[in-house]
Amino acid sequence: MPNQNLRNARRKRKDEFYTQLTDIEKELKHYRHHFKNKIVYCNCDDPKVSNFFKYFTRNFEHLGLKKVIATCYKNQLPIQFSEHQDEKACYMVYEGDQNKNRNVDDEEIQVKESNGDGDFRSPESIEFLKEADIVCTNPPFSLFKEYVHQLTKFNKKFLIIGNQNAITYKEIFPLIKENKMWFGINNVKEFEVKKDNSKSKYCYDRKKHFQKFGNVNWYTNLTHSKRNDTLHLIENYSPVKNPKYVNYDAIEVAYVVNIPKNWGGKWGFPLLSFTSIIQSSLR
């Protein structure tokens, strides 16, 4: 089951889910006006295989970017994150089409050795974060709370991917409530994964494998068109349909379409209905 995949990943601390380029393109097209003359930082991406880095370098001039930086954590075991076999972590910087041939050439991408392990919490990565205007990546699901805390601590704009159930975390829900974070436009239903089909932990199958999920969303604090959608309410309050809670001053509403238009108090929703409300941009 899709949700079981996330539970298994969390239990095993398996975070190597690679976002497909089509999913990035599908979501990023709604935010183009935010990127003009901005520095974009992808701080959980092996720049050699990252589709985020690929997207931003290919669309550098179209978006009017100033710079793209990509870093990733270098594990001791190459299979756990990255395909490259370098002994040290590296980062890449791209500052546009220097020779004006409308291509992203190898010599235009600055490849530099990291001072540390490339972890997003490392001093070097934090310095990149301070320099950046917008962070865009697929952070480790197991570190999502810590990752978002860092973004808000440094007051960064972001567009990231995370488990839908993260809205129930005590560290995340206040950001939703205070209108500091919301869902993006689309869900992400499938990721590329690296599978080890050999007996040796240092060898792996280079063929593409995909894993499906049922509750993965984009999270952002960038405005988009869906934030301005109007929710038209047609239901009236009913003590039968909307019973009051015994231990809290609010009424139960089963679905978004059943929100009573003539009720001025608080509502309570099942989790799935609540996520629908956030996706509808109700404020």
What percentage of the chain exceeds 90 in pLDDT?
46
The model's confidence at residue 273, banded by pLDDT at 50, 70 and 90, is low
Question: How much is the average pLDDT of 214-221?
Answer: 91
Question: Between 268 and 187, where is the model more confident?
Answer: 187
Question: How much is the average pLDDT of 253-269?
Answer: 84
Question: How much is the average pLDDT of 42-57?
Answer: 89
Phi, psi of 170 (to 5 degrees): -65, -20
What is residue 265's three-state secondary structure? coil
pLDDT digits (tens, 9 = 90+) for 190-209: 988 865 543 333 333 455 78
- Closest-CA residue to 134 (of 220, 72, 44): 220
Most confident of 28-32, 175-179, 278-282: 28-32
First to last CA, the chain: 32
Distance CA 224, CA 228 (A): 8
For residue 54, pLDDT beyond 50:
yes
- Closest-CA residue to 100 (of 60, 136, 68): 60
Average pLDDT taken over every residue of the chain: 82
- Closest-CA residue to 112 (of 133, 86, 136, 132): 86
Residue pointed to by tokens 């567009």: 159
Per-residue tokens: 47: 């720049």
- Closest-CA residue to 118 (of 83, 72, 153, 52): 72
Distance CA 10, CA 136 (A): 22
For residue 12, pLDDT beyond 50:
no
Handedness of CA 241, 244, 245, 246 (dihedral sign): negative
